[in-house]
Amino acid sequence: MRQRMIELLKSDDIINKCGGRFKLTALIQRRWLQLLQGSRPMVESKGLTPLEVVVREIAEGKIEMELATQDYDYRASAALPEFSSEAE
């Protein structure tokens, strides 16, 4: 199973299904965290690691990425110094 999971993660099919490598990585991270916090797997998980469960869930179409702009934290930009276009 582990070798199959690695090959699946390398394939363009799962990458395209999620909308790109970045979105795939974000989806894996979010779902993995949910599983570690106690969410129930949506696939048979006996003998699988949480990562293997997540990859299987994605491959079987059980989970997908939802785009939500409210997830972004814009407060970090407030800590940046103000940019001045005038030369000092």
Cα–Cα distance measured from residue 2 to residue 52, given in angstroms and rounded to the nearest whole number? 7
Per-domain boundaries in the chain: 2-79
| pLDDT over 90 (residue 37) | yes
The H or E element that residue 54 is part of is helix 50-59
Each residue's pLDDT tens digit, 44-77? 999 999 999 999 999 898 988 775 544 545 454 4
In the CATH hierarchy, which top-level class contains the domain 2-79?
alpha beta
Contacts of residue 31, defined as CB under 8 A and 6 or more positions apart, other chains included, come to: 54, 57, 58, 63
The predicted model gives 22-43 an average pLDDT of 92
- What does pTM read for this prediction? 0.68
